[in-house]
């Protein structure tokens, strides 16, 4: 039996049952108690009894109506609202608000239902955003893998067809193929790391690293690549010899490499320059990587560490990249307890700043 039907039955019982009981009690009183016959009572007494009975009946009816109204507002109305909300979710509509006042069980149920709706909507929006980012990533990776693959294929065909007829030319072709393969490996590695970032599963191996020695090794590795691109690398280090940091050597190297790669990507000068500076910043080691590239517009600086953000979408084809390099950099630096930011002037260049906490003997860091 539906709740509405039960309430109607309850309403009828509230009226009929007291009346039946009243009539039954009057009959019993008339049958077993020694009272004057009704016809022997004065007319005024008859009128008084009629009025009392009528008033009792009206009181019962009003009480039943008030009780029914209260039950309707407390139970049926919230349940009807909840039913509409359930139907909306069933149809895939999460853009509504379920507002029910009160502190009873049904009101609390409606409030829990509204919290569930909000969470479902957030999950749906997160999934849409995740799918959109995955499509962008797949598109970027596909494009950026196709470019070096085309080059590798072309140079291989050049070797097969005898275009590279001298040992020097063959060596140049092979060296180019190797570089393109390295570019593809880096893209695949970036894609793998991206999936780990989303699940917070970056495999860190923290160790105490002597700052001068560690960043000196990074500079030596970068110098070889930059010289082949006609870019000069200047390095300065004003840290004390004993200064050390706690970090993952591989992931911090990725930070420096990604920043430098980004500088190379947007280098627009015939003679490129990159400056890497280390300095003491109190409890931190501060690293600055400056270039003389095209620079970044002030309006773009707050967003350059966001996933897939590009300051110049029209340059996507020429610059390449998955669009997640700087977001990976930010994640790694923050996981090391540091922070990263950028300053830039259009046409002059960009400086990437990041700080890493110093290692203190006896600390837990």
**Other CB atoms within 10 A of residue 289 CB:** 21
Structure tokens at 200: 């917070």
pLDDT at 284: 93
Q: What is the pLDDT along the chain (365 residues), one digit of tens a residue?
A: 454 555 565 666 666 666 665 665 555 555 544 445 555 556 665 566 666 667 767 776 777 677 667 666 667 777 777 888 888 888 888 888 777 776 667 777 888 888 888 888 888 888 887 777 777 767 767 777 777 888 888 888 888 888 877 888 888 888 888 888 887 887 787 777 776 766 667 778 899 999 999 999 999 988 887 887 888 999 999 999 889 999 999 999 989 998 998 898 888 888 899 999 999 998 999 999 999 989 998 899 988 888 777 665 444 444 455 567 888 899 899 999 999 999 999 889 999 999 999 988 765 55
CATH architecture of 131-198: Orthogonal Bundle (1.10)
What is the structure's pLDDT at 15?
62
A 10 A CB-CB count for 134 gives 13
What is the reported pLDDT for 336?
A: 92
CATH of 207-357, one of 3.30.460.10, 3.30.565.10, 1.10.3080.10, 3.90.870.10: 3.30.565.10
Q: Is 17 helix (H, G, I), strand (E, B) or coil?
A: helix
Statement: the pTM of the whole predicted model exceeds 0.85: no
Q: 210: which residues sit within 8 A by CB, 6+ positions away?
A: 243, 244
Q: Token pair for residue 240?
A: 């004390």
Q: What is the pLDDT of residue 49?
A: 62
Q: What is the pLDDT of residue 53?
A: 66
By the 10 Å C-beta count (0-12 exposed, 13-18 middle, 19+ buried), 125 is classed as exposed
237 vs 260: CA distance, rounded Å: 17
- What is the structure's pLDDT at 95? 81
């Amino acid at each position: 039996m539906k709740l509405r039907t039960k309430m109607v039955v309850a309403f009828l019982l509230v009226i009929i049952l007291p009346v039946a009981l009243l009539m039954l009690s009057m009959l019993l009183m008339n049958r077993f108690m020694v009272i004057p016959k009704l016809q022997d009572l004065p007319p005024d007494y008859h009128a008084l009894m009629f009025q009392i009975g009528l008033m009792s009946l009206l009181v019962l009816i009003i009480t039943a109506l008030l009780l029914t109204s209260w039950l309707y507002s407390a139970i049926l109305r919230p349940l009807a609202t909840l039913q509409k909300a359930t139907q909306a979710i069933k149809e895939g509509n999460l853009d509504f608000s379920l507002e029910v006042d009160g502190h009873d069980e049904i009101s609390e149920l409606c409030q829990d239902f509204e919290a569930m709706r909000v969470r479902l909507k957030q999950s749906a929006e997160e999934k849409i955003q995740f799918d959109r980012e995955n499509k962008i990533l797949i598109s970027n990776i596909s494009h950026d893998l196709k470019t070096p693959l085309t080059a590798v294929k072309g140079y291989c065909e050049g070797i097969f067809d005898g275009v590279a007829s001298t040992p020097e030319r063959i060596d140049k072709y092979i060296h180019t193929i190797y570089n393109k393969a390295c570019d593809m490996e880096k893209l695949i590695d970036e894609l793998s790391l991206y999936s780990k970032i989303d699940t917070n599963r970056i495999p860190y191996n923290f160790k105490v690293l002597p700052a001068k020695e560690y960043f000196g090794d990074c500079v030596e590795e970068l110098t070889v690549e930059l010289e082949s691109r006609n870019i000069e690398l200047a390095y300065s280090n004003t840290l004390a010899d004993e200064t050390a940091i706690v970090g993952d050597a591989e992931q911090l190297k990725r930070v420096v490499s990604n920043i430098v790669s980004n500088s190379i990507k947007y280098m627009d000068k015939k003679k490129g320059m990159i400056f890497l500076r280390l300095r003491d910043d109190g409890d931190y080691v501060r690293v600055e990587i400056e270039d003389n590239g095209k620079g970044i517009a002030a309006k773009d600086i707050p967003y350059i560490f966001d996933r897939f953000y590009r300051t110049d979408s029209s340059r996507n084809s020429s610059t390449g990249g998955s669009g997640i390099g700087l977001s990976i950099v930010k994640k790694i630096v923050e996981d090391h307890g540091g922070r990263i930011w950028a300053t830039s002037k259009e046409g002059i260049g960009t400086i990437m700043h990041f700080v890493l906490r110093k290692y203190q003997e006896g600390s837990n860091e």
